[in-house]
Every structure is written in structure tokens, then in C-alpha cells.
């Protein structure tokens, strides 16, 4: 599989995590399928274990949880659990730089995520990433040793994976540095070269083996008014588009 391209350049100037405070950043819309409720329970586990930290949500409220607007539900739940939580609301691209700058680690607790641009941004910013195994970015995070992936929907392994980064800035820095090196693979020119090579191999394969032969129909398919008479449509288009003298 060839991933989509990603431009890491805007995030490379963010300083290393060495001077950060223990902060977990969660970036993106606040909605249930993003696992925002799970990260609250993981934060509560960390707090109970004596791991001091702040949970930073950067994104707008979207949808509902238990019939309550998600942002409101999260704020209530965080208060009930006695957590140190900050909600920034929607941020512009330049404002997100400050979020990644403050983060010791970035969490992507989604129940499903086709890839996760947030994870790519975090790695480009030199932040370790803890994601779920239901995010498309998980194999890249694991292969680059830029963080780790955990089962979706379970706060216990999520808390266990976050704790070492919160407790050890040097560990977070090492994983973050590997992530910065890894995202080079997603650089647009590199992805373009891989796609060109994939097309080249496909063309060579078909030239060597021949294109599959289409079966001949014994009779023309019935039109039934579902498909246009393409020849007639082309003639009509030509009549309308031909220059008139």
C-alpha cells in the first residue's frame, strides 16, 4: 500500500520535547468515534497511579455522547473525575503549532481512523504518538518506533502506553526523533516516485502477459432507457460544439 503524501515542513521547526511539561495532546473534532471518552478514563487511571499530567483537547465539539453535545459531556465527565483538562476549541493551523509545542505526547485514541493526519503532524513535530490499532497510521508508528499502538476502546492499555512518555522526557524525545525521521517516507516527491514506479511495473506486467480478453456478447444488451445511445449523444454534442459560420 502506498500512503497519501504528507508535507512535514510546517512542523519541523517545533522544538524537541525535552523542555515540555507532562501534557497529553488530543487534536481533532471532539466526537465519540474519536475515542475522546476513552482518553478521559485513561487520564483518570494515570491520575490514580500518581502520574501527574494535563490533558489538552484541541478541536471543536461535534455530535453527541449520551444525548449531550460532546464538548459539554467531556467537560462534565472531566470534572467528575477530577482531571486537569484544557479545552481550546477549534484552532487555526498556526495555533496548532503551540499545541504540539506544549505536548509531551500525542494521543490518537480513535475507534476508527483511515490514516490520521494528526499523528503525522505530531511525528513531524517530534512528538511520540500513542494510537489505536484501528488507525491506519498504526503500522507506520510501530515500524518507525515513533510510539506505539493499543487496542481501541480500552483505557487501561492506553494509560499504560502513555505513562512512560509522561514520566521520562528523554524517552519521549528519542521516540519523537525517530518519528521525525520516519515521516520523510511520506514526503510528496517520495510518494510520487513510488506511484510512478508502481505504474511502471503494472505496465510492464500487462505488456509481458497481455491484457485480459473481454468475452464477446452474443447479442447487444437491452438498453431499457437506463443507458444513453452514446453514438447519438456524441453526434449531438458535435453538432452543438462545432464552429458555426
Query: pLDDT by residue (tens digit) across 154-199?
Result: 999 999 999 999 999 999 999 999 999 999 999 888 888 888 888 8
- Within a domain: residue 194? no
Name the grid cell of 196: 510512478
Look at residue 222 and tell me whether its pLDDT is greater than 80.
no
52 vs 221: which has the higher pLDDT: 52
Helices 169-182 and 155-167, packing angle to 10 deg: 100
- Within a domain: residue 198? no
Give the β-pairing of 68-69 and 64-65: antiparallel
Percent of the chain scoring above 70 in pLDDT: 85
pLDDT in the model for residue 19: 92
Q: Which domain holds residue 60?
A: 9-188
Within 13 Å, how many C-alpha atoms sit on residue 153's CB side? 5
Contact 98, 87 (CB under 8 A): no
- Domains in the chain, number: 1
**Residue 132 phi, psi (nearest 5):** -100, 165
Residue 79's CATH number = 3.40.50.2000
| 76 three-state secondary structure | helix
- Within a domain: residue 118? yes
Contact 109, 26 (CB under 8 A): yes
Rounded mean pLDDT, 111-138: 96
207 vs 46: which has the higher pLDDT: 46
- Within a domain: residue 224? no
- Within a domain: residue 78? yes
- Within a domain: residue 219? no
pTM above 0.85, yes or no: no
Q: Using the structure block, give the residue that is written with the C-alpha cell 515540555.
A: 20
Within 13 Å, how many C-alpha atoms sit on residue 244's CB side? 3
- Within a domain: residue 99? yes
- Within a domain: residue 92? yes
Q: Using 50, 70 and 90 to split pLDDT, how confident is the model at 93?
A: confident
Q: Using 50, 70 and 90 to split pLDDT, how confident is the model at 233?
A: very low
73, 84, 88, 101, 156 from 46: Cα distances, Å: 20, 11, 22, 22, 9
Amino acid at each position: 500500500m502506498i500512503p497519501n503524501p504528507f508535507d512535514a515542513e510546517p512542523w519541523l521547526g517545533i522544538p524537541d520535547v525535552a523542555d515540555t511539561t507532562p501534557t497529553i495532546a488530543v487534536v481533532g473534532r471532539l466526537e465519540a468515534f474519536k475515542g475522546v471518552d476513552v482518553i478521559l478514563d485513561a487520564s483518570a487511571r494515570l491520575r490514580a497511579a500518581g502520574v501527574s499530567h494535563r490533558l489538552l483537547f484541541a478541536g471543536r465539539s461535534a455530535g453527541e455522547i449520551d444525548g449531550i453535545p460532546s464538548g459539554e459531556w467531556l467537560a462534565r465527565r472531566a470534572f467528575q473525575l477530577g482531571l486537569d483538562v484544557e479545552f481550546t476549541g477549534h484552532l487555526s493551523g498556526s495555533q496548532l503549532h503551540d499545541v504540539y509545542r506544549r505536548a509531551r505526547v500525542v494521543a490518537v485514541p480513535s475507534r476508527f481512523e483511515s490514516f490520521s493526519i494528526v499523528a503525522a503532524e505530531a511525528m513531524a513535530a517530534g512528538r511520540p504518538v500513542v494510537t489505536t490499532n484501528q488507525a491506519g497510521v498504526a503500522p507506520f508508528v510501530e515500524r518507525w518506533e515513533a510510539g506505539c499502538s493499543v487496542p481501541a476502546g480500552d483505557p487501561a492499555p492506553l494509560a499504560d502506553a502513555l505513562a512512560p512518555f509522561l514520566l521520562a522526557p528523554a524517552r519521549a524525545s528519542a521516540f519523537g526523533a525517530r518519528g521525525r525521521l520516519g515521516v520523510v517516507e511520506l514526503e510528496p516527491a517520495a510518494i510520487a516516485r513510488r506511484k510512478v514506479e508502481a505504474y511502471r511495473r503494472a505496465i510492464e506486467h500487462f505488456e509481458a502477459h497481455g491484457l485480459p480478453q473481454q468475452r464477446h456478447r452474443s447479442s447487444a444488451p437491452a438498453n431499457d432507457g437506463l443507458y444513453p445511445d452514446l453514438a447519438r449523444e456524441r453526434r449531438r454534442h458535435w453538432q452543438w460544439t462545432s464552429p458555426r459560420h
